[in-house]
């Protein structure tokens, strides 16, 4: 969703802000803007792509300080006027804002003598700050007084004409400061400035940051606090396309490496245990009665995959809920319910609010995430990192694989601790995990084949993905990937459900993409394949040899995977990712930034 970049230092601010906005494009947005700060402010704003804004920016500008923003509309359409930065009437104060000011209506009414130039909630902020300055307050005082009036969520960066400082603060929306050799950066996420520095400070809720030539000063409750600098371990090319046409394709191909990182040092082969650095005491794990997984979209499907494993390996009742629908029901002793938030970004508002609900009710909370320092990490009792590396494409790909792998480790960890998971099955699961990178590589090596299949069926009326058991979340994920990037009608079903309704939709124009691997009850699914075949639908099936069943005579296209035990459906998923990618690519869709979608969904 919205993105923020700010800079102050020795370099020209304009190219840094402009490149920062390009780096933030992956988050999803519909307008962009920049304010350059000197004795006066120069503000440029444009609806549409960052390239449209870049078309109206001057070739060069001497300013050493400025802020920029990519906006994803909430209050008011994506027009030039509604783009950020927003300024006060005199053009002295400029503000960029992520989040929602809930009481903006009231504040707008109070500011009745001000003439507003946008429909946004954000615009009240520069007017409030300007009112404080007019009343004689110092910049920091004026901003703090304005903050006292705001209700809602925000990450804010403020620049004021003639003042050589940037001011920033946050409430439920991330902000991170980057410490470079030639200046200091502030952004909603590190990808905005990763090419300049990997030394960062995460701003906490309520903290007030002042950034000047000397770097960052942080204040909490009025007192200056120490600044902690962390070094990010991202590789230099992590946020680059590295020769691929799209980030999504690059990230699909990164899966073997991402999975190696995910499992590295976390498997003890001899004892068949998982070594996860997590604070879940043995006596607590022995006492838990239920695991509730809360997540959205792809992360929810990763949770559904894991739920099957938690129940069978850890012998704990496990439910998976769409975070936006979640209500906590933890029985008589809420602490005995472990609520696990699965989230790539760690910022998804629905998931955050589910976690808060669980905490308020007294449950223990755990985050499984890709994002260090994220809000959900800070708010949960503990967290496990999936270590997939930055994911820029809006469609989640490598993070799905790393989430399932991490949750599998967690299932083994909990199962072995509780004594519910026998050595042999634990060993089989861990072996399956270790085989994943090479099994997935073997699918990636067949990309040309799946591309041909994708091109053959790209113009179909609709696509139906089917699978049973562990194949069911993968069918749902396959359909989600295809619909979000190709805009085609795609649905996923538990294979046995086809005959209870969806079969009415099946025609020669609706390819069926079926999972027939271990962990998906292939024999039963084959019966469903026969049902659709009888109605003339083409069938593309992913198969493995494990079960010894001959499936090829029922399939129009057979896509093989190597034997990988219970994680075979996860390997098969890579075929569905490549299928979605190539269908979308054939149709010329903007694959990394599908319409209406955002990478990090920070509104409920
Ligand atoms: C789909 C996709 C979304 C996210 C969902 C949750 O490709 O990316 O469905 O999975 O918005 O996001 P996180 O995992 O960041 O909480």
Q: Is 376 in the pocket of ligand 1 (CB under 6 A)?
A: no
596 sits in which H/E element:
none
Query: Which residues are part of the catalytic machinery?
Result: 2, 599
Instruction: Return the sign of the alpha-carbon dihedral for residues 117, 119, 125, 127.
Output: positive
516 sits in which H/E element:
strand 512-516
Ligand 1, atom 7, residue with closest C-alpha:
395
Ligand 1, atom 5, residue with closest C-alpha:
297
Q: Is 343 in the pocket of ligand 1 (CB under 6 A)?
A: yes
Ligand 1 mean position to 259 CA, how many Å?
19
What average pLDDT does this structure show over 539-550? 88
Ligand 1, atom 9, residue with closest C-alpha:
297
What average pLDDT does this structure show over 411-438? 96
Half-sphere exposure of 365 (CA within 13 A, CB side): 25
* CA dihedral of residues 179, 391, 69, 226 (deg, nearest 10): -30
pLDDT at 431 over 90: yes
Ligand 1 mean position to 30 CA, how many Å?
19
Q: Is 374 in the pocket of ligand 1 (CB under 6 A)?
A: no
Residue 523 tokens read as 């024999």
Which of 298, 370, 477 to mutate to test ligand 1, by most ligand atoms within 8 A of the CB atom? 298
pTM (2 decimals)? 0.81
pLDDT at residue 239 in the model: 65
- If pLDDT is split at 50, 70 and 90, which confidence band does 29 have? confident
Mean pLDDT computed over every residue of the chain: 94
pLDDT at 304 over 90: yes
- If pLDDT is split at 50, 70 and 90, which confidence band does 365 have? very high
Any idea how long the chain is?
Answer: 604
The 3-class secondary structure across 63-114, one letter per residue, is CCEEEEEEECCCCCCCCCCCCCCEECCCCCEEEEEEEEECCHHHHHHHCCCC
pLDDT at residue 321 in the model: 96
Ligand 1 mean position to 390 CA, how many Å?
14
For the segment 243-281, what is each residue's pLDDT rounded down to a tens digit? 899 999 999 999 999 999 999 999 998 999 999 988 899
Ligand 1 mean position to 555 CA, how many Å?
32
Which one, of 40, 26, 147, 51, lies nearest residue 97 by Cα? 147
Angle at 547 between CA 543 and CA 550, to 5 degrees: 65
- If pLDDT is split at 50, 70 and 90, which confidence band does 548 have? confident
Q: Is 525 in the pocket of ligand 1 (CB under 6 A)?
A: no
Residues 311, 314: Cα–Cα separation, whole Å: 6
Residues 501, 483: Cα–Cα separation, whole Å: 21
Number of H helices, E strands in the chain: 17, 27
Do residues 290 and 336 lie in contact, with contact meaning Cβ atoms separated by under 8 Å? yes
Backbone phi, psi, residue 455, to 5°: -65, -35
pLDDT at residue 41 in the model: 97
């Amino acid at each position: 969703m919205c993105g923020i970049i700010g800079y102050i230092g020795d370099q020209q601010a304009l190219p840094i802000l402009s490149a920062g906005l390009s780096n933030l494009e992956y988050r999803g947005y519909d307008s962009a803007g920049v304010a350059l700060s000197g004795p006066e402010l120069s503000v440029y704003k444009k609806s549409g792509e960052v390239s449209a804004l870049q078309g109206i920016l001057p070739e060069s500008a001497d300013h050493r300080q400025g802020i920029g923003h990519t906006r994803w509309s909430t209050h008011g359409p994506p027009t030039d006027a509604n783009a950020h930065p927003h300024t006060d009437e005199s053009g002295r104060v400029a503000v960029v804002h992520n989040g929602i000011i809930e009481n903006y209506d009231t504040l707008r009414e109070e500011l009745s003598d001000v003439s507003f130039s946008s429909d946004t909630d954000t615009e009240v902020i520069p007017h409030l700050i300007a009112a404080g300055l007019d009343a004689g307050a110092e910049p920091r005082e004026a901003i703090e007084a304005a903050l006292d009036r705001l209700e809602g969520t925000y990450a804010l960066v403020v620049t004021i004409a003639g003042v050589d400082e940037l001011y920033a603060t946050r409430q439920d929306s991330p902000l991170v400061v980057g410490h470079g050799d030639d200046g200091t950066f502030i952004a909603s996420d590190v990808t905005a400035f990763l090419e300049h520095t990997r030394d960062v400070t995460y701003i906490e809720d309520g903290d007030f940051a002042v950034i000047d030539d000397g770097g960052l000063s942080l204040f909490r409750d009025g007192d200056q606090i120490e600044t902690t600098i962390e070094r990010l371990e991202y590789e230099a090319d992590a946020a680059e396309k590295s020769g691929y046409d799209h980030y999504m394709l690059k990230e699909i191909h990164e899966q073997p490496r991402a999975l190696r990182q995910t499992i590295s040092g976390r498997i003890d082969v001899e004892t068949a245990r998982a070594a996860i650095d997590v604070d879940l005491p043995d006596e607590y794990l022995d006492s838990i009665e239920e695991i509730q997984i809360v997540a959205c979209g792809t992360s929810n499907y990763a949770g559904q995959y894991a739920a099957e494993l938690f129940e069978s390996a850890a012998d704990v009742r496990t439910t998976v809920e769409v975070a936006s629908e979640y209500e906590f029901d933890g029985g008589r002793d809420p602490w005995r319910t472990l609520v696990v938030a699965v989230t790539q970004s760690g910022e998804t508002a629905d998931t955050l609010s589910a976690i808060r609900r669980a905490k308020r009710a007294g449950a223990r909370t755990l985050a499984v995430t890709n994002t260090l320092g994220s809000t959900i990490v800070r708010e949960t009792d503990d967290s496990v990192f999936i270590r997939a590396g930055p994911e820029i494409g809006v469609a989640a790909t490598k993070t799905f694989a790393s989430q399932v792998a991490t949750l599998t480790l967690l299932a083994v960890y909990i199962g072995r601790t509780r004594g519910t998971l026998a050595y042999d099955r634990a060993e089989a699961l861990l072996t399956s995990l270790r085989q994943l990178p090479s099994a997935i590589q073997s699918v990636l090596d067949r990309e040309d084949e799946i591309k041909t299949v994708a091109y053959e069926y790209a113009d179909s009326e609709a696509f139906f993905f089917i699978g049973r058991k562990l194949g069911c979340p993968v069918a749902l994920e396959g359909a989600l990937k295809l619909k979000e990037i190709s805009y085609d009608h795609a649905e996923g079903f538990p294979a046995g459900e086809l005959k209870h309704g969806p079969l009415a939709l099946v025609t020669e124009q609706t390819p069926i993409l079926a999972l027939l691997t271990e962990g998906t009850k292939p024999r039963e699914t084959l019966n469903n394949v026969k049902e659709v075949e009888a109605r003339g639908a083409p069938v593309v099936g992913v198969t493995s040899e494990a079960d010894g069943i001959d499936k090829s005579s029922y399939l129009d296209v057979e896509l093989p995977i190597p034997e990988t035990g219970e994680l075979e459906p996860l390997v098969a998923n890579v075929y569905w990712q490549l299928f979605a990618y190539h269908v979308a690519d054939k149709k010329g869709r903007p694959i990394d930034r599908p319409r209406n979608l955002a990478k990090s969904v920070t509104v409920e």
